[in-house]
A = this chain, B = another copy of it.
């Protein structure tokens, strides 16, 4: 499981991403019966690509704390369903009104707007159906309850959905850094926190370790979102699979508009360093996890 720096990171991340894909696919709904069109819409969005960042971070954090059971798998599939649900809804005409994501037509463009709403919700609900299966995979019932509780809180009004709502409500408005940080910490960091905390909880981490992981994840999420802002300015449509310069067109306040590219980059690097140093302070080894976090701010998509 552990790897030295000598192992080729690019090869290894390919292998682990494919393993994650396989786990996710196993938990997708069957496309049969009367409701097969909705199952198709759910699976279309789930299989439209993506880095699988959240389940990967979850699994590597689980390994960091010595976890090696199957109980992590329904949670890996679940967090990706929750994330994907938020993308489907983000793209709806009533929200960002995007036709493309990852170079493919968005769900509502293929299946219609009503099915966009319903299949998004249905993925969120299916995440819970899926995660509840963890009770049959573990004797550690308390840990599963705690992980489910964290997932629900970080997804809801006091997490991702809260962040989305404030983002939508202030669309095109000049907002201050306090509100921007609130939006980033919830819209983006909350699910990264849920991923890594769930990994720690299921592996039996104690309260102070879980709290440290939460803080590291918050920093990783913030760095990730700042890098997203930067890529919107410096990337190409082809690399990102969606139109660049959308923030500028939408008069959106971002870390780039607030600080400029150079300072925003420095901030993302600083947050990443901080996160890695927090994780290393646990005195546990998962070199792959540390490298994964490090590489996140150098990504091109």
In the complex, whether A37 has a CB less than 8 A from a CB of chain B is yes
- How far apart are the CA atoms of A39 and B162 in the complex, in Å? 9
In the complex, whether A174 has a CB less than 8 A from a CB of chain B is no
Instruction: Specify which of B37, B119, B166 is in contact with A35 (CB 8 Å cutoff).
Output: B166
Instruction: Specify which of B95, B141, B148, B157 is in contact with A42 (CB 8 Å cutoff).
Output: B157
For A130-162 the 0/1 string (1 means CB < 8 A from B) is 001001000001000100110011011110011
**Helix, strand, loop or mixed for chain A's interface?**
helix
Does the CB pair B94–A161 fall under 8 Å?
Answer: no
Does the CB pair B118–A121 fall under 8 Å?
Answer: no
Which of A5-13, A109-117, A232-240, A268-276 is the interface stretch? A109-117
Does the CB pair A37–B129 fall under 8 Å?
Answer: no
Given known A38-B157, A39-B157, A162-B35, contact A117–B95 (CB-CB < 8 A): yes
Does the CB pair B162–A34 fall under 8 Å?
Answer: yes
Task: Across the interface, name the chain B residue whose C-beta is closest to A119.
Answer: B165
Q: By CB atoms of chain B within 10 A, which of A42, A95, A125, A152 has the most?
A: A125
Given known A39-B157, A132-B149, A141-B141, contact A165–B89 (CB-CB < 8 A): no
Given known A116-B94, A117-B94, A169-B115, contact A132–B152 (CB-CB < 8 A): yes
Size of the chain A interface, CB-CB below 8 angstroms? 54
Instruction: Tell me, rounded to whole Å, the shortest Cβ–Cβ distance linking A9 to chain B.
Output: 35
Does the CB pair B161–A37 fall under 8 Å?
Answer: no
- How far apart are the CA atoms of A129 and B182 in the complex, in Å? 21
**Footprint of B on A, CB under 8 Å?**
29, 33-35, 37-39, 42, 85, 89, 92-95, 112-122, 124-126, 128-129, 132, 135, 141, 145, 148-149, 152-153, 155-158, 161-166, 168-169, 179, 182-183, 186
Does the CB pair B94–A156 fall under 8 Å?
Answer: no
Does the CB pair B34–A166 fall under 8 Å?
Answer: yes
Does the CB pair B114–A37 fall under 8 Å?
Answer: no
Does the CB pair A132–B145 fall under 8 Å?
Answer: yes
Name the B residues within 8 Å of A33 (CB-CB): 162
Task: Across the interface, name the chain B residue whose C-beta is closest to A145.
Answer: B135
